[in-house]
Structures are given as structure tokens and as C-alpha cells.
Amino acid sequence: MATTDAAAHDGIRAEASQGTVVNFGFWLYLMSDVIIFSMLFVAFVNLSTNYAQGPTGQELFELPLVFIETMALLISSLTYGLVMICLRQGNTKWVQGWLLITFLLGVGFVGLELYEFLHLAFEGYGPQRSAFLSSFFTLVGTHGTHVTFGLIWILVMVGQVAYKGLTPAVASRLTRLSLFWHFLDIVWIAVFSTVYLGGMYR
């Protein structure tokens, strides 16, 4: 075992696999996030008819608004895909450009969600009104918080690309941000189907 062979092997392994090791770790983190969302979905489904004489989803949800929200997020996933393509081509400018467009779409999504939340709260249908609304605000809000953190992360990465260029470390972080962003998209599809469509067509 005690040969320079092993030492060389060790060195190569460390160099080549560091990125994949971190990505693997990030996947596992996302799995723990899946559990978090699963629990929130379970809570929502469990409480979704506990209106406490309050309004139902059918009375509250505005599908056109949610549709625009959904489109903003789905398209932002597409534009993040373009970030990754430009990253592979080494096109710093367009990496930044698509990152910013993704950011704007994300801001649009969060903005519409905030509008919806505030609108409901002002009408007296805040999370305190019933268990149904508590679980609605928590599930949708947790997703929105994730998107918000994703937005901060995008800004950080725009800065890193500007200052450091597309170094291997930066590229590796962009890859994980991509995983995160697509993950939120998938979760949103579940939210959209369970909460909004399920609520409207109960």
C-alpha cells in the first residue's frame, strides 16, 4: 500500500472528484428538503378542508394570477438552462445576462405571491383565519422563501462571475444553483396541482 502510486492516486482523486463530491452532498441536502416539503404537503392535505367556517380555496384563489406566477417560474427554469449552456460555452456575458433574466422572473414570481398573500391578509383571510389557511400560507410561503434565497444566491453568483470569471469553483456553484432552481420548479408544480387546482376543483 505504501507506494508513491497510492499517493498519486490520492492526489488525482482529490482533484478530479471534488466537484462531484460537493454536488452529491447537495443532492442529499435536496433530499432532506424533499422531506420538509412532503411534511408540509401532508399537513396541507390533512387540514385542507378545516375551514373553521371561513372561506374555502374555491372562494379565495385566483387562477389567472397563479397561472402567470407559474409561467414566470417555469420560464425562469428555462432561462437558467440557458445559463448552463452559456457556461459550457464559456460565454461570461450571457451567463450574467441569463442569470439576471432568471432573477427578474424569480422576482416577478415572488412579487405576485406577496401580492396574493397581502391581498388575502387585508381581506381578513390571513393564516390566523383557519387551519386551512395556516397550512396554505406555510406551504406556499416555504416555497416562496426558498425562491427568495435562490434569488439572493443568483445575485451572489452574478457578483462572483463578474469578479472571478467562470473559474471551476464558480462553475461548480452555478451547477448547484441550477439543481436548486429546477428543484423549486418541481416543487411548485406539486404546489400548483395540489393547492390551487385541488382547491378550485374540489
Partner 1 sequence: MLGRLSLQAIPYDNVIIMSAVALMAITGAVVVGATTYYGQWGYLYREWLTSVDHTKIGIMYIILAFVFLLRGFVDAAMMRAQQATAGPGQSGYLSSEHFAELFTGHGTMMILFVAMPLIIGMINLAVPPQIGARDVAFPFLNSVSLWLTYAGGMLIMVSMALGQFGTAGWTGYTPFSEQAFTPSTGVDYWIWAIQISGIGTTLTGVNFLVTILRERAPGMTLMRMPIFTWSALITMVLVVLAFPALTVALGMLSLDRFFDFHFFTGDMGGNQMMYINMFWIWGHPEVYIVILPAFGVFSEVTATFCNKRLFGYKTMVYALAVIAFMSFGVWVHHFFTMGQDALRNSIFAIATMIIGIPTGVKIYNWMATMFRARIEFKQPMLWTLGFILLFTIGGMTGVMLAIPGIDYKAHNSEFLVAHFHNVLIPGTIFGMFAGYTYWFPKAFGFRLDEKWGRHAFWGWSIGFTVAFMPLYVLGAMGMPRRMASYSNPEWTPLLWVAALGAVIVMYGIVCQIIQLISSIRNRHRLADLTGDPWGGRTLEWAMSSPPAEYNFPVIPRVHGIDAFMDMKENGTAYQRPAEYGDIHMPQNTAAGLILGIAAFVFGFGLIWYIWWLAILAGLVMMGAVIWRSCTDDVEFTIPADEVKHIEDERFRKIALASQQTDVIDSESRGRVNIDGEPLSPG
- Do the Cβ atoms of 202 and 45 come closer than 8 Å? no
Taking contact as CB under 8 A, which single stretch among the options 41-49, 81-89, 110-118, 191-199 is the one that binds partner 1?
41-49
Q: Does 132 bind partner 1 (CB under 8 A)?
A: yes
Q: Does 63 bind partner 1 (CB under 8 A)?
A: no
Neighbouring C-beta atoms of residue 92, cutoff 10 Å: 15
CA distance 72 to 68: 6
CB neighbour list of residue 82: distance below 8 Å, 6 or more residues apart:
94, 98
Q: Does 145 bind partner 1 (CB under 8 A)?
A: no
The single residue among 56, 96, 148, 160 that binds partner 1, judged by CB under 8 A, is: 160
Residue 52 sits at φ, ψ, to 5 deg, of: 50, 50
CA distance 130 to 47: 9
**Rounded least distance, CB 115 to partner 1, Å:** 20
**Cα 46 → chain centroid:** 24
Return the number of the residue (45 or 75) whose C-beta is nearest partner 1.
45
Can you give the binding site for partner 1, defined by CB under 8 A?
1-4, 6-11, 14, 17, 20-22, 24-25, 28-29, 31-33, 35-36, 39-40, 42-43, 46-47, 50-52, 127-132, 134-135, 137-138, 152, 156, 159-160, 164, 167, 169, 173
